[in-house]
Amino acid sequence: MFQIILRVLWLLSEQKKLVTSLVVCNFLFAILILIEPVFFKEIIDILISFSKDNVDQYNKLTQTLILWIIVGLTTIGIRLFVSIFSDRLAHNNVEKSVFSFFNHTLNLSMRFHMNSNSGQLVKKITKGVDGIFETQLNTFRRALPNIFTIIVLLPTVLYFNIKMGSIVICMWIVSGVVTYFLSTYTFSRQENIEQIYSNMSSHYGDTFSNMPIVKSFTLFSLKNKQLQKLTDQRISEQFPILTWWGVIVSFSQVLRIIVSIVVIFFGSFLYTQWEISVWEIVMFLSFALIFLSAVEDLTWTLEGMFWRLAGIKDYFKILDTPIEVQDKPKAKKLRGVVGNICFENVTFSYDEKRKVLQDINIDIKAWEKIAFVGHTGSGKTTMTNMLLRFFEPQEGDIKIDEQSIYNVTQDSLRKNIWIVFQDNSLFNTTVLENIRLDTKATRKDIERVAKKSHSSDFIKNLSDGLDTVVGERGVKLSGGEKQRLAIARAFLKDAPILILDEATSALDAHTEKYLQSSFDELMKGRTTFIIAHRLSTIMKADRIFVFDGWKIVEQGSYDQLMKIKNGKFTKLVEAQTKGFIE
Ligand X SMILES: Nc1ncnc2c1ncn2[C@@H]1O[C@H](COP(=O)(O)OP(=O)(O)OP(=O)(O)O)[C@@H](O)[C@H]1O
Give the binding-site size for ligand X (rule: CB under 6 A). Answer: 11
- Tell me which of Mg ion, ligand X, none is bound by residue 114, counting a contact when its beta carbon lies within the kind-specific cut-off of 5 to 8 angstroms: ligand X
For residue 195, the tally of other CB atoms under 10 A from its CB is 14
Calpha distance 417→438 (Å, rounded): 15
Minimum CB distance to ligand X, residue 501 (Å)? 7
Q: With respect to ligand X, which residue has the nearer C-beta, 355 or 451? A: 355
Could you tell me the smallest distance in angstroms from the CB atom of residue 29 to ligand X? 56
Choice between 86 and 381, CB closer to Mg ion:
381
Please say which residue, 34 or 532, places its beta carbon nearer to Mg ion: 532
Of residues 137 and 398, the one with the C-beta less far from ligand X: 398
Shortest Cβ 254–ligand X spacing (Å): 56
**Residue 113 vs 256, nearer CB to ligand X:** 113
Tell me the pairing of strands 341-348 and 497-501.
unpaired
Residue whose C-beta lies closest to Mg ion:
381
d(CA 254, CA 261): 11
For residue 422, the minimal CB distance to ligand X (Å) is: 8
- Read off φ and ψ for residue 83, nearest 5 degrees: -60, -50
In sequence order, the β-bridge partners of residue 371 are 530, 544
Instruction: Answer yes or no: are the C-beta atoms of 487 and 521 closer than 8 Å.
Output: no
Q: Which does 382 bind (CB under 5 to 8 A by kind): ligand X, Mg ion, none?
A: ligand X
Q: Judge contact between 312 and 135, C-beta under 8 A.
A: yes
Residue 356 interaction partner, one of Mg ion, ligand X, none, beta carbon < 5-8 Å per kind: ligand X
- In the range 288-307, which residues lie near ligand X by CB under 6 A? none
Angle, CA of 133, 136 and 137, to the nearest 5°: 80
Nearer to ligand X, 197 or 372 (CB): 372
Of these partners, ligand X, Mg ion, none, which one is at the site of residue 509 (CB under 5 to 8 Å by kind)? none
Question: With CB cut-offs between 5 and 8 Å by kind, which of ligand X, Mg ion, none does residue 378 bind?
Answer: ligand X
Question: Binding marks (x or -) toward ligand X, 372..411, rule CB under 6 A?
Answer: --x-xxxxxxx-----------------------------
Closest distance to ligand X from the beta carbon of 515 (Å):
21
Rounded CA Rg of the chain: 36
Cβ 373 to Mg ion shortest distance, Å: 11
CB of 531 to ligand X, least distance (A): 7
Residue 109, amino acid: S
Give the one entry of Mg ion, ligand X, none that residue 145 binds, where binding means its C-beta sits below a cut-off of 5 to 8 angstroms depending on kind.
none
Q: List own/partner pairs for 17-23 with CB under 8 A and 24 or more apart.
A: 18/85, 18/88, 18/89, 19/89, 21/81, 21/85, 22/82, 22/85, 22/86, 22/89, 22/140, 22/144, 23/140, 23/144
- Name which of 161 and 381 has its Cβ closer to ligand X: 381
HEC-encoded secondary structure of 293-329: HHHHHHHHHHHHHHHHHHHHHHHHHHHCCCCCCCCCC
**Is residue 575 at the binding interface for ligand X, with CB under 6 A as the rule?**
no
Nearer to ligand X, 176 or 377 (CB): 377
Q: At what angle do helices 278-319 and 162-209 cross, to 10 degrees?
A: 30
Listed residue (424, 484, 439) closest to 459, CA to CA? 484
If contact means CB under 5 to 8 A according to the sort of partner, which of ligand X, Mg ion, none does residue 505 touch?
none
* Residue 190 binding result from Mg ion, ligand X, none, given CB thresholds of 5 to 8 Å by partner type: none
The amino acid at 101: F
**Segment interacting with ligand X, rule: CB under 6 A, options 25-33, 40-48, 319-327, 371-379:** 371-379
DSSP assignment of 461-522, as one string?
Answer: HSTTGGG-B--GGGTTS-HHHHHHHHHHHHHHH--SEEEEESTTTTS-HHHHHHHHHHHHHH
In the bound complex, what is the minimum distance in angstroms from residue 386's beta carbon to Mg ion?
Answer: 13
Listing DSSP states for 550-561 in one string gives TEEEEEE-HHHH
- The CA distance from 142 to 300, in Å, is 9
* Shortest CB 201 distance to ligand X, Å: 22
x/- mask, ligand X, residues 102-121, rule CB under 6 A, reads ------------x-------
Please report how close the Cβ of residue 381 comes to Mg ion at its closest, in angstroms.
3
Residues numbered 328 to 357 that lie near ligand X (CB under 6 A) are 350, 356
Our CB check for Mg ion shows the closer of 161 and 381 to be 381
Query: Would you say 134 or 502 has its CB closer to ligand X?
Result: 502
Piece of 122-130, 143-151, 209-217, 369-377 that binds ligand X (CB under 6 A): 369-377
Count the Cβ atoms, other than its own, within 10 Å of residue 188: 11
Which of 89, 129, 134 is CA-nearest to residue 305? 134
Site residues (vs Mg ion, CB under 5 A): 381
The strand pairing partners of 529, in sequence order, are: 370, 499
Tell me which residues touch ligand X (CB under 6 A): 114, 350, 356, 374, 376-382
